[in-house]
Amino acid sequence: MGYFISIDGNDSVHDAIRGVGVYQKVKRNVKEHPKAKVTINMTISNLNWKCVEKVVDEWYGHARAITFQFYTPFSRYDKLWLPYGKLRNFVIDKLIEIKEKYSDFVANMSKQLNLFRNGKWTANCPTWFFLNLDSNGKIKQPCIISSADQNGAKPICEKCGLGCYAGVILDCFYLMENGLECLRLQRTQRTDCFSDFIYERVYFRFDIVEVG
């Protein structure tokens, strides 16, 4: 069993968002269970973009991997959203630089991170790939951060920063261009947990199509 843990920044930034003392409590629990397969996920926003490298430095050696995604707004004037443009591109360039330094730890692919420079990829968002349920077993639409309530708040899709959907886009394009056999070969050359997860979902789906 694996665990995905949300970390919103270094000690002070995370606690400002989640509550005083939460960061150290989470880190202590992870360090006390070294055999647990922990992946850190950081959602980048206007509050924490300055400390992405500090988070990687602090968690390297304590977790299996780290993934990054960008905050997705629910309103046009959401101040947490990091707008497309110069600052966002700077952050993405920094993430790619960090990935080169920590290639055995940062699970995002560089091509995936580059998708977040604009919202063009969202026109083909693979919402069909995931079944999203709330705590009552009701389906959330259109995506994992949505509500099952049809009248509930909906994310602004063209400003999406969800890493799981962008990752699926890349591997599906690869599959269509190179075929299933190339995807099998691609997996043998990868070590990151995110790509393994994407492979298993895509591979299973296409096996069903082939058999049926």
Query: What confidence tens digit (pLDDT) does each residue in 37-57 have?
Result: 999 999 999 999 999 999 999
How many domains are there within the chain?
1
How far apart CA 184 and CA 181 sit, in angstroms, is 5
- Structural element, H or E, at residue 194: helix 193-211
Q: What is the pTM of this model?
A: 0.81
Q: What is the DSSP letter of 140?
A: P
190: pLDDT strictly greater than 60: no
In angstroms, how far is CA 163 from the centroid of its own chain? 3
What domain range is 196 assigned to? 2-211
Check residue 172 and give its pLDDT.
60
